A = this chain, B = another copy of it.
Amino acid sequence: MTDVHLEMKPIGFVRSPYQTTAQIPRGLGAKHEAEGVLEIKPELEAGLTDIEGFSHLYVLWAFDRAEGFDLLGAPPSDNRQHGVFATRSPRRPNPIGLTVVELLRRDGTRLHVRGIDMLEGTPILDLKPVLSKVAPDNLRTGWLGEAEQARKTSG
């Protein structure tokens, strides 16, 4: 319960087609089909052993170009304000991003993946295998579900 400070160091960097945040698809219906490479540091290569058996990976990464945070904000998919922990806003108390990517192939320490939504050069903090379909059929998606529904009925 001590208020520890944790220090994190990149395990590698993202090679992405996106140079600026404006290039990244955002908001309702945004599709992340971009391909890129997760370049892991050579000294960590053994940690990738057997990773190619998994079709999907969680990538934990750092919003290294975000500064500060907002507890409330309006995401691109809605014009109402929501709590930061109910959104994927980059302006978070701990600027960690989470993306699920499809692993296309591994080439040594280079993981070729689909589903990139990070900027070029983004520091990678961790990789984990996706072990199961994490969400059941009765998933509720709060304000986002409402915003999607509103778009459908108005379209």
Contact = CB atoms under 8 A, between A and B. Distances in A.
Given A46-B83, A96-B125, A130-B135, A53 B140 contact: yes
Contacts of A58: 98
A121 interface: yes
A1 interface: yes
Contact of A145 (B5, B53, B60, B138): B53
Contacts of A72: 46-47, 49
Contacts of A52: 142
Given A55-B139, A86-B53, A44 B93 contact: yes
Contacts of A54: 86, 140-142
Interface in A93-117: 93-96, 98, 100
A44 B24 CA distance: 28
29 contacts: A3-B10, A4-B62, A4-B123, A5-B9, A6-B8, A11-B85, A44-B93, A46-B71, A46-B72, A47-B85, A49-B72, A49-B83, A51-B86, A53-B140, A53-B141, A53-B145, A53-B146, A55-B140, A58-B98, A60-B96, A85-B126, A88-B128, A88-B129, A88-B131, A96-B126, A130-B134, A130-B135, A132-B139, A133-B133
The 7 closest A-B pairs by CB, nearest first: A53-B142, A49-B83, A46-B71, A55-B140, A85-B127, A47-B71, A47-B84
